[in-house]
Amino acid sequence: HNQRVVAEPGVTNVEISRAVAPTHFFPPDPSSQIVCSIGGNVAENSGGAHCFKYGFTTNYVTGLEVVLPDGEVVMLGGKELDQPGYDLVGAFVGSEGTLGIATRIVLRVVPVPEATLALVAYFETTDHAGAAVSDVVAAGIVPGAIEMMDRLTIRACEEATHAGYPLDAGAALIVELDGPEAECRAWRDDVVAICEARSATGIRIAADEAERQLIWKARKAAFAAMGRISPNYYVQDGVIPRTRLSEVLRHIDGLSERFGLPVANVFHAGDGNLHPLVCYDARNPGEAQRAEELATLIIDACLGVGGSITGEHGVGVDKKASMTKMFSEADLDAFQRLRCAFDPGQLANPGKVMPAPRLCGEVPGPYRQHPIEAAGLASRL
């Protein structure tokens, strides 16, 4: 078995793991894995709950058959882990459709670990849960997944799934450990001790696979379950250093109070990838606009502590205006040069990612020829 799968882009994420079960699996697992496509995962460089230990989609794509904007079909990479030459696969994964269209994808799958153990710890506050996350990582423990939900999210998920989460908990921390059984059991005991030291109000250890799946059912239902407590919500996606978690969550609480809109927090705690859900009612005039403004301020808060405007949901149209807050003009110019090498005519998914207006060769101030324009590789329309 060469641990490779060749898939077309419309195949759903979960179908990959099902196809290679029970001996192997595909680690990137977005909450939407039963419906999201591998093509979409490649476009966004999706992660999921297990990205802390296993990484993102880019770590599992070794080759791509791509249709370039001029119609040429090329093969980037192959089945090898590391082909000679430039990493064009790495450039394509996460490019959000701006470099071309992937028509076949070569994926790497990995063996199913010997043991998988899960527990969920409950805390009075997200501060205590956040401190436990930092302690777990500092102890050298590498969980397969480490996820957090706040009070509002717990309520919505429990009402939707009846998974046994206490409605009075201020935060829930899901920790999954996988690998050799002896190591998992030792780490589980260490995680329990850390959570208890950080004032956990209760700890539930999954007794079997069915209970483990039930714990995860609640977490994976988070986005869909929010409909039970709000007619509309705005999903945000940002990244912060783990050590600034409590600070940023307090700031989000302040924004929520200021705007008069509830914000539910659910996130991949291990790598600081936040997914705040700004709740609003579109029937109320101006409320959708206020929700969008609040969501943008959350991203500004992430940048303020050295974080990122997106972890795995991409830039698209929604966040392209924020690109100038995170990257310098020189950075954006380098991105544009790469894009123009693949697509000088800006035909592939136009109007996405790059802040407008930014055509090939366009920089602020007086017009200067772009290097690829001067080389005759692109022309200004």
Cα separations (Å) of 233 from 149, 161, 177, 229, 289? 16, 19, 32, 10, 12
List Cα–Cα distances, 77 to 11, 211, 275, in angstroms.
20, 41, 32
In this prediction the pTM is 0.87
- Cα dist from 368 to 193, 257, 357, 365, whole Å: 61, 47, 15, 9
Mean pLDDT (whole number) for 39-50: 94
Calpha distance 136→142 (Å, rounded): 8
CATH fold for the domain made of 4-111: 3.30.465
Can 4-111 and 115-224 be said to share one CATH topology?
no
Q: What is the pLDDT of residue 217?
A: 93
CA distance 212 to 174: 10
Domain positions in the chain are: 4-111, 115-224, 233-302, 327-374
Asked whether 219 and 266 are in contact (CB, 8 A), the reply is yes
Task: Give me the pLDDT at residue 366, please.
Answer: 45
- pLDDT at 154 exceeding the cut of 80: yes
Question: What does the alpha-carbon distance between residue 22 and residue 30 come to, in Å, rounded to a whole number?
Answer: 20
12-26, 71-85, 116-130: segment of lowest average pLDDT: 71-85
Indicate the pLDDT class of residue 376, thresholds 50, 70 and 90. Answer: confident
Taking the C-alpha atoms of residue 112 and residue 278, their distance in angstroms, rounded to an integer, is: 36
Per-residue pLDDT, averaged over 222-234, amounts to 91
Task: List Cβ neighbours of 346 (8 Å cut-off, separation of 6 or more).
Answer: 339, 359, 360
d(CA 324, CA 23): 45
Contact predicate 279/226, CB 8 Å: yes
Q: Distance of CA 131 to CAs 138, 161, 166, 264, 294, Å? A: 10, 28, 21, 19, 26
150 pLDDT more than 50: yes
pLDDT of amino acid 270: 87
Percentage, residues of the chain above pLDDT 70: 94
pLDDT in tens, 90-133: 999 999 999 999 999 999 999 999 999 999 999 999 999 999 99
Count CB atoms within 10 A of the CB of residue 128.
20
Q: Which of 6, 19, 245, 275 is nearest to 123 (CA)?
A: 245
Mean pLDDT of the region 299-310:
95
CA distance 144 to 49: 8
Q: Domain 233-302 adopts which CATH fold? A: Alpha-Beta Plaits (3.30.70)
Tell which CATH architecture fits domain 115-224: 2-Layer Sandwich (3.30)
